[in-house]
Chains A and B, each alone.
Chain A
Amino acid sequence: MSEAKSELPSQRAAADDLQRYEQLWAEARQVHGVSLGRDAWRRLRRNPSAMLSLTILVVLSILAFLTPALPLQSPRQVETLRSFAEPTSEHFWAPHLQTPSAQAEGTNDEQWAAFWRDVDLKFGKLDAIEKLLLQARVAVFGPYAIGSICGTDELGRDLLSRLFWGARVSLIVGVVATLVSLVIGVSYGAISGYMGGRVDNIMMRLVDVMYSIPFIFVVIFIISILSEDSIKAWLIDHGIDRITIFFFLVGAIYWLTMARVVRGQVISLKHEQFVEAARTLGAGRMRIVFRHLVPNLFSVIIVYLTLTIPRVMLFEAFLSFLGLGVEPPDVSWGLLANEGVRVITPVKIYWWLVVFPGIALGVTLFALNFFGDGLRDALDPKLKNR
């Protein structure tokens, strides 16, 4: 009995402990169950401006993708009789396409042939998906298109339609080129910064060397070289056009900045305790860099990303200005902004040619920035589980 007596308090204490540990364990399990991504999404949802921006970006991307299916006029059909027409609500919903109908002459096949000829005239060569979307458009909207509510440009082309078709080019240019630069830049910078010493030295000197070549020169020269007849024919045979070259050139240029920034951050982070801890636990170098360091850099990376996309888009505009960007009749927002600025003179201001492309660029970049800020906050590991 005495034994039992003597054991009693300690048993009780152990049971208490067990209960407490179980409780803690349950809590911990609960906490652990939230992954970084899900946690971030939870916090992102609570940020109204970020959600609004996200909505804008998603809607914009969908609209850009669906452009051929929207009831818009031709982005390239020249109608000089209405050049520099002011925005108007007249003919707000007017027939624009030559769609087959029961009243028209000719058999159905002939009508469809005529329709595709008309489409070719108004939209140029389309790929399979675009054709499908166009057929969907005819099915839903018939021959109708929205009038020139944003006015027309010098050659009488509908600005609204050009904005939509331009969005396709500009968004793809911005996103793809930036992603290229992101992937190269982050891995390069993180590795260089973490390795330190000789490796870092050589890697960063290499960046310095490349950085020191004025890239405007390189872009001008490379694009000129690639437009030589023989080289161009070869590239076209391999399905590479100017825009593709542009992605890689720009990506190859902007990664340098990214690499430097990431390296700087890694250097200041790598003496932190959590890195030491990971190392003590035997984590490999690559695991430390990509599992532990890079997530800590998300805030900086994302801010840079939201800064780089607009820069790429503006750089595309600058190249258009030099005659090396998108080739007409294709359009991009940069091209439209350039055309708009040309008509701001003290003598006459065709305001709609500046204002609408400006709004399009502005809204997109606004959304990108606020979404980037929201994402930054959401992804910050220091704020995790709060």
Chain B
Amino acid sequence: MIGFLVRRLGWMIITLWVVFTISFALMRSVPGGPLSSERALEPEIEKNIRARYHLDEPLMKQYLRELGNTLQGDLGYSFKLADFSVNEIIAQGFPISATLGIVALGVALSIGLTAGIVSAIRRQSLIDVTLMSLATVGIALPNFVVAGILIILLVFLWPVFPAAGWGNLSQLVLPGFCLGLPYAAYVARLARTGLLDVLSQDYIRTARAKGLRTPTVILRHALKGAMLPVVSFMGPAIAGILTGSLVVEQIFAIPGLGVHFIQAATQRDYTLAMGLVLLYTTLLYTMNLLVDVSYVYLDPRAKLE
């Protein structure tokens, strides 16, 4: 187990380095740079600014400089939010995105698992069809459509929630729901499929034959095995949820990382983009590691190799 984790940590460092290098190369080869602005600068003024950010140096030198700084934990200052360091931006935005993400995760797992289990047990019944139809709606409708409709309904027609903003619990409900809904739909479908697969297995028949009641069979024995596809879906998805969603954050004016993510890319904010990429990579890698570890927990036949 320890050896496994150490090996994985080594891979993680390699991954981070590869991601760093690819991102660096991509960002420098894309047209436009962090200094592009609508008003073109006089060449002399632009030269001053480039020198200020070391953008006038050869690429290899910039690469080594940034790599060195990153290794020391210094991600530098953002180009487009010049008053803040990338560390500060992440420190402010991540808890917000993470909170929203946790709420969304709660929504996704509670609704998704319930719906998935119920419709697997009542297979081919009306309730199965209804729940799976709802799940399909959740997947089929882009969450900006869901958000738009919910705002009209729950903010204007029946004013129970504030339109947007961040600060108290009531402002968390609508965005959390909108962000979680598509995931809930995925979880429901995956849980149903997984459970159906498991229910036809021999060990479940054995459990039933022992005379165990259906709920016990499902909760004790079947669910664990049925969670495999859900877990392998949720691992990477959690990293995505935690780092924020552009659409939901924009619609509900939430100061999380999702908006930074896209804007750093489109505005070529080299430092911020790099910081976010590395954060995302770390999170994702950790989540995938957790998925692999949980495979062993959920499925006794699988081994950590």
Contacts and interface: CB of A to CB of B under 8 A. Distances in A.
Contacts of B186: 307
Nearest to B225: A268
Nearest to B231: A264
B84 interface: no
B232 A264 contact: yes
Nearest to A349: B152
Contacts of B299: 268
A264 B234 CA distance: 14
Interface string A29-73: 000000000000000000001000000000000000000000000
Given A205-B11, A209-B15, A213-B22, A225 B29 contact: yes
Contacts of B22: 213
Given A257-B236, A268-B299, A366-B133, A300 B229 contact: yes
A217 B129 contact: no
B94 interface: no
A354 interface: yes
Where chain A touches its partner, the secondary structure class is helix
A346 B155 CA distance: 9
A369 interface: yes
Interface residues of B, number: 60
A214 B277 contact: yes
Interface string B143-160: 011001101100110000
Interface string A304-346: 0001001100100110011000000000001001101100101
Interface string B64-93: 000000000000000000000000000000
Contacts of A212: 15-16, 19, 280-281, 284-285
A209 B301 contact: no
A337 B143 CA distance: 11
Given A208-B288, A213-B23, A225-B31, A196 B152 contact: no
A317 B277 contact: no
Contacts of A340: 145
B9 interface: no
A173 interface: no
A317 B22 CA distance: 26
A307 to B, nearest CB: 6
B201 to A, nearest CB: 9
Given A200-B305, A264-B295, A211 B261 contact: no
Nearest to B25: A221
A261 B229 contact: yes
Nearest to B148: A344
Interface in B1-37: 11, 14-16, 18-19, 22-23, 26-27, 29-32
A49 to B, nearest CB: 7
A242 B288 CA distance: 32
Contacts of B233: 257, 261
Nearest to A197: B305
A300 B142 CA distance: 24
A94 interface: no
Going nearest first, the 3 A-B pairs with the smallest beta carbon separation are A365-B140, A344-B148, A212-B281
8 contacts: A221-B265, A224-B30, A227-B31, A314-B142, A322-B262, A334-B142, A337-B145, A361-B141
Interface of B: 11, 14-16, 18-19, 22-23, 26-27, 29-32, 129, 132-133, 136-137, 139-142, 144-145, 148-149, 151-152, 155-156, 186, 189-190, 193, 197, 200, 228-229, 232-233, 236, 247, 261-262, 265-266, 273, 276-277, 280-281, 284-285, 288, 295, 299, 301-302, 305
Given A209-B14, A267-B302, 17 more contacts: A208-B11, A211-B284, A211-B288, A212-B19, A212-B280, A214-B280, A224-B30, A227-B31, A260-B288, A261-B229, A261-B233, A268-B228, A271-B301, A334-B142, A362-B141, A366-B140, A383-B200
